[in-house]
Amino acid sequence: MSRLIRGDDDKSASADDDHAPLLLPLSNAAVVSHLKACQGLAASHSQDAFREYLKVLDDALTIEIEGAKSNQEASELQEVQRLFRLNREELERYFCGYLSEGFVKFKKRELQTSVGGVGEGDTLSLVDNEDLEETIAISSIAQRADSFFAEPLWALNQRFAVLNGGEHVTEASNPASPIQFCESLRKALRLLSLDPSVKQLAYRVYDDQLIKTIQDISEDINRYLKQEGVLPHLKYSAPSGHAPASSLRREDDGVSQEASFDGAGGSALPDPNLPPEEYQSSLLHAIRGLQNQLVPSASASASASAGGSLPPGGVMVSPDDLLGALRALQVPGAEANLGRQGQVVPLDVSEIVDRLHAQLKSEEKDGAVDKSDMQTIDLVGMLFEYMLNDENLPNSIKALLSYLHTPFLKIAFIDPGFFEQAEHPARVLLNSLAEAGARWVSDDGSAQYDMYSKIKDIVDRILQEFDNDVKIITELLLEFSSYTKNIIRRQELMEKRATEKAQGEEKLREVKLKVNDEVRSRTEDRELPSAVLLFLLQPWSDYLSFALLRYGDKSDRWGKALAIVDDVLWCVEPKESAADKTRQLEIHDDLIAAIEAGFETIGYDQLKGNKLVDALSALIKLAMQSKKAEPAPAPMRDKLERIAAEKAGTKELRQEDCSPEEAQMVESLKMIEFGTWFEFEGGKRLKVAWYNARTSHYMLVDQMGKRVDMLSGLSLARQMISGKAKIISGSSKPFFERALENIFQKLNEKAESIKPGEENVVS
């Protein structure tokens, strides 16, 4: 499994290359040499650490065996222990091999390790739930290690970026980051067929072992690269509980490693085509740069936060003070305010921020919040302000989720990964709650699958149980994800059945429309007796529909059924020539027999059928005598044609009744995609699950996937124009990513509006 990094040539790197200056690109040979050395250090440490890990795991299994509740459970655990012992060397080889392979992928710029998506793929099964548990376990381990070693890991990212040609390196693309070790373990454990509970035990044991491994490896690799001249002057100033992205500086010039913004003016939006995690990381990097531009000095930040300038000798508020103030704001009884749907009053985020400032001022005389801490407070505030203005979310869900502001602000200070990592459990949970609220809760007070109560329970538990341990967030994420997965599966099955049924109905509608058009095209502008109109527009139209639906429009059966229409219309017309009368007589019996056979095929009422056949026969005989039957009265004809049109599903409103505005809206609606949500008068939300372009009908389902209506394009257009319906602007992007984009755009607009030389403070 182990793979070595190979350069494009066999030449050794020169001394100058090995000690390249900070901004001088390294030669390929120097990069390969450095990566081989780093790979060797990682392999050496990880091999020893993995052997120790297997010993500790063996001891943990022994404890589990001794505490087993039954002989069967003990026997199963003994078999697992035996498997681990038999495969020690193979597991070690695979683990170290996967880890070394990460350095090879890094050299090729192919390394982008993801923790794994919640709900990847289209299938929903028990396997998915096991995979979800494994993903969350790995995410928690990696997050803890990332937080614990923020300084050396950030330094590694910077130094590996030099080896990467200057391109940005994150934990996902850093071959020595915690996630690489966790993913290598995940892959190695696939060698054995393990029960989910055993996997969870294996990850719990590894959680403790990884800390020591990361410490040794990150220190050794940083030391080696520093000695080799790769960013030798990086200096880390201790962060105050938030992400340390701005804390590494070069000693020689003191320039921050963040993106710099000189003077006024905005910044370009990061490339949306980047991988999701990298794109969100770039967005956050740009937002922090804009915050630095808009709040250029610590004193300005202090003024903004404390309501005045920081006097000489003023005291900066410590991280512990911040968390203490936040703890005071998270009132234990706050969950009591969360009543039934429609009764919850949204939390005033700006008021909470003001109270936070007041709390800090009261605890620390002349206290001021550090600039970077203030930026974190502002960023969380802007995140929840976006949520309260997101039209994709029902008002009841906005109100409910607004109470997570203070707990999530605490998380932002406690855990650096909250803003830095797209797969952070708190971010994934917030995304999941927002998506579930938009999907299954309506503004009209209805909620499918009791989703409002479920989201309320999650919010209640966070308010009551969350203090400084983010483990509760991970547990709630796992619980909520399992709950929604089962719902999604049920909803998709119901929606699929509804769509299949609608497609069948629409196919029948199309058939009836075609039949009605065929009959109308032959009867228009012709005066016909009542019996003929009744025959063509009712029973024979049903037979034509049967023939078309069963055999198709290219079939002999369909052709003969239409020929009978033409023959009946020809036969009931008075004839003058002897030849025409002779032909009428010749086809009479066959025509009547064919009509009777058709009636029998569709199960038409025998008594009504006999009366119609007798009436048609009498009309044909009258025509043979060159006599014309009395045409149907206009009211009767209109009634028969209207009944036939309604039965066929023809639009009641003709095109000429459609105004230019309505016609334009109908055309616009043809461009919408399946899955588009509409909100109707009263707050009811329905989704377009299927659209028939030929008949211009839209199938609308509710939040359970149950069919509610089949609307014509014109009817839907008129409701939109009158304001009774509107499209809810949805997005496939997760809530957090949409929020970051919105925050970036607002800050960027503010930055662009600043005149050169002006200073501004984020409000």
Place of tokens 């797209």: 422
Range from 61-70, 204-213, 554-563, 645-654 carrying the lowest mean pLDDT: 645-654
pLDDT in tens, 144-172: 777 677 778 888 888 888 888 878 888 88
The single-letter code of the amino acid at 760 is: N
- Of 527 and 704, which is predicted with more confidence? 527
Say whether 447 sits in a helix, a strand or coil: strand
- Determine contact, residues 459/335, Cβ cutoff 8 Å: yes
Strand partners, 687: 677, 701
356 membership: H or E segment, kind and range: helix 349-363
- Determine contact, residues 203/138, Cβ cutoff 8 Å: yes
Is the pLDDT at 91 greater than 90? The verdict is yes
Give 324's pLDDT tier (boundaries 50, 70, 90). Answer: low
The single-letter code of the amino acid at 383 is: L
Nearest Cα to Cα of residue 668 among 713, 700, 724: 713
How far is residue 674's CA from residue 668's CA, in Å, rounded to a whole number? 14
Tokens of 124: 């929903």
How far is residue 562's CA from residue 381's CA, in Å, rounded to a whole number? 71
The single-letter code of the amino acid at 135 is: T
Give 78's pLDDT tier (boundaries 50, 70, 90). Answer: very high
pLDDT in tens, 97-130: 999 999 999 998 899 887 644 333 333 333 355 6
Is the pLDDT at 475 greater than 60? The verdict is yes
| pLDDT-above-90 percentage for the chain | 16
Handedness of CA 504, 507, 508, 509 (dihedral sign): positive
Provide the Cα torsion 430, 434, 436, 440; round to 10°: 160
DSSP 657-713: GS-HHHHHHHHHHTTPPTT-EEEETTS-EEEEEEEETTTTEEEEE-TTS-EEEEEEH
Most confident of 211-215, 312-316, 408-412, 665-669: 408-412
From residue 503, give the alpha-carbon distance in Å to each of 497, 676, 721: 10, 18, 27
User: Burial code of 405-436, b = ≥16 C-beta within 10 A, e = fewer?
Assistant: bbbbbbbbbbbbbbbbbbbbbbbbbbbbbbbb
How far is residue 398's CA from residue 434's CA, in Å, rounded to a whole number? 8
| pLDDT-above-70 percentage for the chain | 78
How far is residue 524's CA from residue 520's CA, in Å, rounded to a whole number? 6
From residue 425, give the alpha-carbon distance in Å to each of 37, 48, 171, 470, 719: 34, 31, 16, 9, 41
Say whether 56 sits in a helix, a strand or coil: helix
pLDDT in tens, 577-619: 888 888 888 888 899 999 999 999 989 888 988 999 999 989 9
How far is residue 547's CA from residue 137's CA, in Å, rounded to a whole number? 61
pLDDT in tens, 407-443: 998 898 888 778 888 888 899 999 999 989 888 887 7
Give 267's pLDDT tier (boundaries 50, 70, 90). Answer: low
728 membership: H or E segment, kind and range: strand 725-728
- Of 84 and 141, which is predicted with more confidence? 84
Burial class (CB in 10 A: 0-12, 13-18, 19+), 534: buried
Strand partners, 691: 698
Q: What is the pLDDT of residue 361?
A: 63
- Determine contact, residues 105/3, Cβ cutoff 8 Å: no
Residues 6+ apart with CB under 8 A from 534: 612, 640
Is the pLDDT at 308 greater than 80? The verdict is no
Tokens of 232: 């030798």
Q: What is the pLDDT of residue 509?
A: 79
Alpha helices, DSSP H only, in 108-239? 126-148, 150-163, 178-189, 196-227
User: Burial code of 520-529, b = ≥16 C-beta within 10 A, e = fewer?
Assistant: beebeeeebb
**Pairing verdict, β 707-712 and 234-236:** unpaired
> What average pLDDT does range 226-250 have in this prediction?
54
Q: What is the pLDDT of residue 88?
A: 92
SS (H, E, C) 532-567: HHHHHHCHHHHHHHHHHHHHCCCCHHHHHHHHHHHH
- Of 294 and 224, which is predicted with more confidence? 224
Report the mean per-residue pLDDT for the chain: 78
Q: What is the pLDDT of residue 561?
A: 92
Q: What is the pLDDT of residue 253?
A: 36
pLDDT in tens, 201-213: 898 888 877 877 8
Give 4's pLDDT tier (boundaries 50, 70, 90). Answer: low
How far is residue 284's CA from residue 277's CA, in Å, rounded to a whole number? 11
- Determine contact, residues 66/49, Cβ cutoff 8 Å: no
Is the pLDDT at 628 greater than 70? The verdict is yes
Nearest Cα to Cα of residue 763 among 305, 436, 344, 438: 305
Neighbours of 153 (CB within 10 A): 23
Q: How far is CA 676 from the centre of its chain?
A: 14
Q: What is the pLDDT of residue 106?
A: 92
